[in-house]
Every structure is written in C-alpha cells, then in structure tokens.
C-alpha cells in the first residue's frame, strides 16, 4: 500500500499565530526530536495536499513521519508512551512510504537555498496517497537520526484537501466532516419554519392571556438553537471555500455558546414543567427553587468548561470528536442527572394531580427518550461506528433530536380546540391574584400541593358529558377581562 501525507500545526507549539486547520501558514519551533503536528482523514485516491517548507540546514535532517489509525501504529506511540524517538520510528513500515525526508533528496523535491548568509532546505511539492479506505493519518515532525542541533524548526504553508476544486462538499473537509454543512443548513431552515409556527401560537396564547413564562423559555431555546445553526452554517460554508479553519474555530466557539443557551434553557423548561410550574402552581417552593438553581448553575459551569477546554486543551492526537473527551463525558453525565430531576418532579406532580395525566404522561415518555438519545448515540458511535463517520453522524442525529424535542413541545402546547393535552388552565393575569391569595392563607404551602389553584373551576372544567370543555382552548376573537377579584368577565369585541 502506497501512502502519502500532510503537515499541520499542533496546539502545543510556538507559532506566529495559532491555527489547527487544513490550510496553515506559520513557524514551528520545539526542543523535542519527535513532535505530533496534527491529523486529517483522507479519502483514498482523492486526498492530497501541497506544501511549502523551509528550515535552516544547521538543524540537521528533519522528516515527516506518517502514522495511520491502527493499534500497532499511532496508538502504540501516542500518547504517554516511554518509547524513544528511534523506537517510535521503528513502528513505521518502509514499504508504505511513511517517512518523507525534508532534505535535498530526489523523493522529497527539496533544494538548498542561501538566504542572509545561511543555508536553508526549501521543499515545494504536491502529494497524494492511496489506501484501502478512508483513513486517519497522524503527522509527526521528527529528527531521530541526527542530533547536530537540539530541537527542530520549520517554516511552512500547507493545504490539505479531499477531492478536486469543483467538489465543494468534500474538497476542504476532512472525511469525518462531510455533509455537516448541508445538514446544518437543512435543519436551520426547518427550525425557522418551527419558529414561525411558534410565533403564531404565541400570538394566540397572548390574546387569550395564556402566554406563560414556560412558553417564553421555549421560544428563547428555539431562537438560540437557530442562531447556533446559523453560525455553523456560515462557518462551515466559508470553510468549504478556503479551508481556513482558524476562522471556523472562532465561529464554532460562538456557536457553542448559543448551543449551550438553547440546551440549558430547554432542560430548565422540562424540569420546571415536570414540577408543574405554570401548570399546577404559580410559583415554586423555596426548596425547589434552590435545587433548580444549584443544578443549573453546575450545568452552566460544566458547559463553560467545555467551551474553554475545546480550543485550548483539546488534544487532536487523542480525541477525534468532543464526546471522547472529559468535557463530553461531563455533559453526558449532567444530562442524565437532569433526567433524574425530571423523573422525580414528574412522579411527585402526577401523584398529586392525576387530572393532568393527559399532558404529563406523553410529556414524560417522549422527553425521557429525548434525554437519553444523545448518550445512546454517543455510546453507539464509540462501539459500532467507524472513526471517520462519528462526528458527522453524531452532529446529524443530535440536531434531529433537538428538532424533535422542540416540535413535540409545540404540538403539546398548541392552543387548539382539539388539543386535549393543552397544559395551561389559568391566564397570566390571574397568577398574581392566586399567589397573593395563597400567601395570605394561613398555613399555605405550595410545596405540599394542598389544593390546585391552577385547576379549571368546576363550572368550566367539564361539559354535560363530564369531559373537558375543549371550547376553552378555542382561538377566537373573544377576549377576557379580569375583575379586581380575579374572576373573568367576558367582553364582546363587537360592543
């Protein structure tokens, strides 16, 4: 098998500017004689790169070493092994052309140039490779054979691609990133449609005084997710033109902020509604408020650590995508803890308010699946998926899961006469009156669920057949006027 190679910049080097992408320009200097640079997943027969490399001849003969994704190759030399440079070099198979000498040899296409009284090796070449499948290649700068001067130095310009110039969907992307751009754009458009429907529903809820705080949190979560997809669509779209991942890295970091806002706010929404907030109660007890505040403070901290960790401490030599790293494990753990709070709140609420089971049972079943979808997908990715398919597959599935979560909530809370699962029974103008009445009542404690102030009154909760009066949820031109006592007085718009 004939293989060729690439060169990129590692996160732990000295450079004129930091980059870790597919088109790089900079300087590398290190005291080591074996330094990991970066990785890239090439397509067979389509993966190639061009490079322009120069370094002072006095540093001795430097080489590029190419390790592929095998247990007897990269995993045997990185990370944390105590092998010497020569032992790491011995892992390579000479028949696979895994060493590229950066000297004035014929194979390397390098020459010696005199600049400012000092001789430099200058290498300018174009390379491609052939392998049995899509394969990760890990690139190392090495100087195992010469020890004239301690350390290594390199000036470079490198461009790595998969495919021809006209192949926009593949050329600038590593094989694990294929189709992330079209998926992000497709889900962006789908979520914009969902937002339009949510705005329409929010208007009908508003005119009936049913636009509660929980629905506003849903709108915020959906809007944040749209901004996340917008940033990723722009970032990956521009990256497909020039391969400059330095710009993509900044856009992705900003996108992760909006992703975190969306996910955290939506999980907050689910926990609050499982507790019955704006459904069976107008406010939370002090204990519930403290529990929710502590949990989501920890969740915000964990996500902030992820955003900081990824660009500064993410080691591409060990981790292929974020959920193989400690921050990813932490997010999965926090998601499971969030589901445990969701479960506890649901059991406590449904026990005391069985009349709301038409809403809470489908609500609990669906969002239990929603909570566990991400951990299950990531577990399958590690156990069953090929390494070059994980990132794009996980991105597509997680984006679809979030879309389903927002869509199902919109369906459950649609203000239509046929919606028997509609959760809201009290208008927003009545909440202050209810809370004040409970606070004035002797021994009142919302945490004990003594009575359901959010329940529909007996004269409006059922019709002659004993079922719920679905006309209560009809969207009509009629609006309600609230009297000083908190009761409703119908007001005809025609008068």
**Two tokens, residue 11:** 């996160």
What are the two backbone dihedrals, phi and then psi, of residue 78, each rounded to the nearest 5 degrees? -150, 140
**Same domain membership, residue 210 and residue 96:** no
Looking at 385, 412, 439, which one is the last position of a domain? 412
Instruction: State yes or no: pLDDT of 437 exceeds 70.
Output: no
What is the DSSP code string of 48-112? Answer: EEEEEEEEEGGG---EEEEEESSTTTHHHHSSS----HHHHHHTS-GGGT-EEE-SSSTTTTEEE
The domain tally of the chain equals 2
Q: What is the pLDDT of residues 323-382, one digit of tens each?
A: 777 777 878 888 888 899 899 889 988 888 888 888 889 899 999 999 999 889 888 887
Pairwise CA distance, residues 8 & 20, whole Å: 7
**Two tokens, residue 123:** 């290498």
Which of 194, 217, 210, 394 is closest to 292 using CA atoms? Answer: 217
**Same domain membership, residue 275 and residue 221:** yes
Q: Examine residue 368 and state whether it is found in any structural domain, yes or no.
A: yes
Which value, to the nearest 10 degrees, does the dihedral of the CA atoms of residues 106, 109, 115, 119 take? -30
**Same domain membership, residue 389 and residue 290:** yes
* pLDDT number for residue 72: 85
**Same domain membership, residue 363 and residue 314:** yes
**Same domain membership, residue 297 and residue 356:** yes
Instruction: State yes or no: pLDDT of 495 exceeds 50.
Output: no
* pLDDT number for residue 75: 83
Q: What is the pLDDT of residues 280-333, one digit of tens each?
A: 877 778 888 888 888 888 878 877 887 777 666 677 777 777 777 777 787 888
**Same domain membership, residue 381 and residue 291:** yes
**384 band by pLDDT with thresholds 50, 70 and 90:** confident
Q: What is the 3-state secondary structure (H, E, C) of 363-430?
A: HHHHHHHHHHHHHHHHHHHHHHCCHHHHHHHHHHHHHHHHHHHHHHHHHHCCCCCCCCCCCCCCCHHH
**Same domain membership, residue 196 and residue 109:** no
Q: Examine residue 341 and state whether it is found in any structural domain, yes or no.
A: yes
Q: What is the pLDDT of residues 135-184, one digit of tens each?
A: 888 888 888 876 667 788 888 887 877 876 667 777 778 778 888 889 99
Most confident of 11-25, 101-115, 228-242, 473-487: 228-242
Q: Examine residue 283 and state whether it is found in any structural domain, yes or no.
A: yes
Cα separations (Å) of 84 from 92, 98, 315, 415, 464? 14, 18, 21, 69, 86
* pLDDT number for residue 464: 37
Instruction: State yes or no: pLDDT of 56 exceeds 60.
Output: yes
* pLDDT number for residue 171: 74
User: What is the CATH classification number for the domain harbouring 268?
Assistant: 1.20.1070.10
Which of 63, 47, 56 is closest to 27 using CA atoms? Answer: 56
As a whole number, the mean pLDDT across the chain is 75
**469 band by pLDDT with thresholds 50, 70 and 90:** very low
CB contact at 8 A, 44 and 131: yes
Question: Domain limits at 95?
Answer: 23-162
What percentage of residues in the chain have a pLDDT greater than 70?
76
Instruction: Give the mean pLDDT of 187-201.
Output: 94
* pLDDT number for residue 478: 40
Instruction: Give the mean pLDDT of 475-488.
Output: 38
Q: Examine residue 478 and state whether it is found in any structural domain, yes or no.
A: no
Q: What is the pLDDT of residues 65-96, one digit of tens each?
A: 888 887 888 888 887 667 888 888 888 888 88
User: What is the CATH classification number for the domain harbouring 56?
Assistant: 2.60.120
* pLDDT number for residue 419: 63
Instruction: State yes or no: pLDDT of 438 exceeds 60.
Output: no
Q: Examine residue 174 and state whether it is found in any structural domain, yes or no.
A: no
* pLDDT number for residue 425: 63
**228 band by pLDDT with thresholds 50, 70 and 90:** very high
Pairwise CA distance, residues 41 & 481, whole Å: 65
Q: Examine residue 296 and state whether it is found in any structural domain, yes or no.
A: yes
Q: Examine residue 441 and state whether it is found in any structural domain, yes or no.
A: no
Q: Which of 56-65, 255-264, 323-332 has the lowest mean pLDDT?
A: 323-332
Query: Would you call 370 exposed, middle or buried from its count of C-beta atoms within 10 A (0-12, 13-18, 19+)?
Result: buried
* pLDDT number for residue 413: 84
**Same domain membership, residue 242 and residue 99:** no
Query: Would you call 237 exposed, middle or buried from its count of C-beta atoms within 10 A (0-12, 13-18, 19+)?
Result: middle
**Same domain membership, residue 186 and residue 68:** no
Instruction: State yes or no: pLDDT of 4 exceeds 50.
Output: no
**Same domain membership, residue 318 and residue 220:** yes
Q: Examine residue 436 and state whether it is found in any structural domain, yes or no.
A: no
CB contact at 8 A, 423 and 359: yes
**Same domain membership, residue 219 and residue 135:** no
Pairwise CA distance, residues 388 & 417, whole Å: 49
CB contact at 8 A, 25 and 15: no
The larger pLDDT score, comparing residue 409 to residue 313, is at 409
DSSP tally for the chain: helices H, then strands E:
11, 11
Looking at 107, 131, 162, which one is the last position of a domain? 162
Angle at 99 between CA 93 and CA 101, to 5 degrees: 150
Instruction: State yes or no: pLDDT of 196 exceeds 90.
Output: yes
Q: Which of 57-66, 347-356, 460-469 has the lowest mean pLDDT?
A: 460-469
Looking at 362, 397, 412, which one is the last position of a domain? 412
**Same domain membership, residue 232 and residue 146:** no
């Amino acid at each position: 098998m004939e293989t060729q190679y690439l060169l990129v910049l590692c996160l732990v080097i000295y450079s004129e500017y930091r980059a870790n992408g597919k088109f790089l320009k900079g300087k590398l200097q290190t005291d080591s004689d074996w330094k990991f640079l970066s990785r890239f997943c090439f397509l067979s027969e389509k993966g190639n790169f061009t490079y322009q490399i120069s370094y002072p001849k006095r540093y001795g003969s430097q080489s590029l070493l190419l390790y592929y994704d095998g247990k007897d190759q990269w995993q045997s030399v990185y990370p944390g092994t105590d092998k010497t440079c020569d032992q790491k070099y011995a892992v390579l198979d000479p028949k696979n052309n895994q060493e590229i000498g950066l000297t004035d040899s014929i194979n390397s296409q390098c020459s010696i140039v005199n600049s400012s009284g000092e001789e430099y090796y200058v290498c300018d070449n174009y390379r491609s490779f052939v392998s049995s499948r899509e394969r990760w290649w890990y690139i190392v700068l090495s100087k195992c054979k010469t020890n004239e001067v301690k350390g290594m130095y390199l000036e470079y310009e490198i461009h790595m691609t998969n495919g021809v110039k006209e192949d926009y969907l593949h050329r600038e992307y590593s094989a694990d990133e294929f189709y992330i751009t079209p998926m992000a754009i497709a889900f962006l458009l789908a979520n914009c449609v969902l937002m339009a429907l949510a705005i329409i529903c929010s208007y009908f809820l508003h005119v009936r005084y049913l636009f509660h705080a929980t629905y506003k949190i849903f709108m915020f979560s959906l809007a944040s997710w749209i901004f996340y997809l917008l940033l990723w669509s722009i970032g990956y779209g521009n990256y497909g033109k020039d391969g400059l991942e330095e710009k993509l890295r900044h856009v992705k970091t900003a996108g992760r902020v909006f992703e975190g806002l969306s996910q955290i706010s939506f999980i907050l929404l689910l926990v609050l509604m499982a507790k019955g907030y704006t459904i069976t109660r107008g406010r939370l007890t002090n204990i519930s408020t403290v529990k929710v505040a502590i949990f989501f403070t920890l969740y915000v901290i964990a996500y902030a650590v992820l955003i900081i960790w990824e660009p500064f401490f993410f080691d591409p030599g060990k981790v292929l995508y974020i959920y193989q790293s400690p921050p990813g494990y932490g997010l999965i753990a926090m998601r499971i803890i969030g589901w445990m709070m969701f479960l506890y709140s649901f059991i406590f609420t449904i026990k005391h308010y069985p009349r709301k089971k038409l809403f809470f049972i489908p609500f609990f079943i669906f969002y239990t699946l929603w909570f566990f979808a991400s951990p299950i997908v990531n577990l399958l990715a590690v156990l069953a998926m090929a390494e070059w398919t994980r990132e794009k597959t996980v991105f597509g599935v997680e984006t679809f899961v979030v879309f389903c979560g927002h869509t199902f909530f919109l369906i459950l809370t649609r203000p239509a006469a046929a919606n028997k699962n509609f959760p809201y029974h009290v208008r927003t103008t009545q909440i202050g009156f209810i809370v004040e009445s409970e606070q004035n009542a002797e021994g009142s404690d919302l945490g004990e669920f003594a009575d359901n102030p959010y329940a529909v009154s007996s004269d409006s909760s059922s019709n002659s057949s004993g079922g719920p009066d679905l006309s209560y949820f009809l969207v009509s031109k009629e609006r309600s006027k609230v009297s000083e006592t908190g009761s409703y007085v119908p007001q005809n718009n025609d008068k």
